Every structure is written in C-alpha cells, then in structure tokens.
C-alpha cells in the first residue's frame, strides 16, 4: 500500500518539477496562470502542516518537496514576468 503512495508522489513531483524546469529554461510564462503556483503554494503549506500533524511520511515528503517546488515556480514566474516586461519596454523604444 505504501508503494502506491510513493509512486503517486513521484508522478506528482515530476509533473510540477518539469513545469518549473520548462519555465526556467525557456524564460517564459506562456500558458502558465499566476494562480497555478499561488494556489499550489497555499495548498502545499496546508497539506505539509496536515501531513506533519498526522505523521504520514509519504505525505510529509511529498508536500514538503511540492512546497519547495512551488516556491521555485513562484520565483521563476516573477523573474520571467520582469524579464518579459523589460523586453517589452526595450522593444517599444
């Protein structure tokens, strides 16, 4: 039963990590809603606290890594948005 939880954890983490990696490499937020990482960040904080309170190691690990991934996603989203705004200003001059 634990194997199902760990396998699901790996799939979920890879999904988020690949999105963050794509944004980092392309330097673009195209197709990514600002609410994706905002909502995931809020839910990851709540789920991490809940996981610690229930002491479920699969969820503690998964939600902690998701929280870190979401923080990275927010940072990259903001960095890309600043970069895109700078390019737009430079292009209009």
Each residue of 29-67: pLDDT tens digit?
A: 888 887 877 888 888 888 889 889 999 898 899 889 988
DSSP per-residue codes, 15-76 = HHHHHHHHHHHH---TT--HHHHHHHHHHHHHHHHHHHHHT-HHHHHHHHHHHHHHHHHHHH
Convert the pLDDT of each residue in 70-87 to its tens digit: 888 889 888 988 888 887
Which pLDDT does position 86 carry in this prediction?
A: 82
**Domain span at 84:** 2-92
Residue 55 pLDDT: 94
Instruction: Specify the number of domains making up the chain.
Output: 1
Q: Domain holding 17: CATH number?
A: 1.20.1280.290
Q: What is the mean pLDDT of the chain?
A: 85
């Amino acid at each position: 039963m634990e194997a199902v939880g760990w396998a699901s954890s790996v799939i979920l983490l890879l999904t988020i990590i690949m999105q963050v990696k794509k944004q980092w490499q392309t330097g673009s937020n195209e197709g990514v809603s600002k609410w994706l990482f905002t909502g995931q960040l809020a839910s990851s904080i709540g789920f991490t606290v809940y996981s610690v309170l229930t002491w479920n190691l699969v969820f503690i690990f998964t939600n902690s890594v998701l929280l870190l991934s979401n923080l990275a996603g927010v940072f990259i989203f903001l960095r890309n948005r600043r970069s895109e705004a700078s390019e737009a200003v430079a292009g209009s001059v």
